[in-house]
Amino acid sequence: MELNGDPLSRLPHGIPFRFVDRILELIPGERIVSLKNVTMNDPCMQGHFPGNPIMPGVLLLEAMAQTSGLLLPKGSSALLAQVKDARFRRPVVPGDQVRIEAVRLTGLGTLHRFAAKAFVESEPVAEAEIVLAVSNAVGKDGV
Amino acid sequence: MNEIVQRVRVLLSTRLKLGKAAEELGDDTPLFGPEGLGLDSIDALELVLGLEKEFGVVIEDRPTAVKVLASIKTIAEFIQTQGKG
pLDDT of residue A5: 65
Residue A13 catalytic? no
Q: What is the tens place of the pLDDT at every residue in A69-91?
A: 999 988 888 999 999 999 999 99
Shortest Cα distance from B41 to chain A (angstroms)?
Answer: 5
Q: How many domains does chain B have?
A: 1
Asked whether the predicted pLDDT for residue B7 surpasses 60, the reply is yes
Between A140 and A98, the more confident residue is A98
What CATH number belongs to A7-137?
3.10.129.10
Residue contacts between A and B (CB atoms, under 8 Å): 43
Residue A126: CB partners within 8 Å, gap ≥ 6?
A57, A60, A61, A64, A86, A87, A88, A89, A92, A117, A118
Q: Kindly tell me the burial class for residue A77, based on how many C-beta atoms sit within 10 Å of its own C-beta (0-12, 13-18, 19 or more).
A: middle
Q: Could you report the per-residue pLDDT of A110-136, keeping only the tens digit for each? A: 999 999 999 999 999 999 999 999 987
What pLDDT, in 10s, does the model give residues B21-64? 888 999 999 999 888 999 999 999 999 999 999 999 999 999 99
Structural domain boundaries enclosing B62 = 2-20+30-81
Burial A100-127 (b: 16+ CB within 10 A, else e): bbbebbbbbbbbbbbbbbbbbeeeebbb
B25: in domain:
no
Instruction: Indicate the domain borders of chain A.
Output: 7-137
Beta carbons within 8 Å of B74's beta carbon, 6+ residues apart: B67, B68
pLDDT of A143 > 80? The answer is: no
Instruction: Name the residue type at position B17.
Output: K
CA distance A36 to A21: 5
CATH number of the CATH domain containing B40: 1.10.1200
pTM of this structure? 0.88
Which positions in chain B touch A107 (Cβ < 8 Å)?
45
Check B44 against A110: CB less than 8 A apart.
no
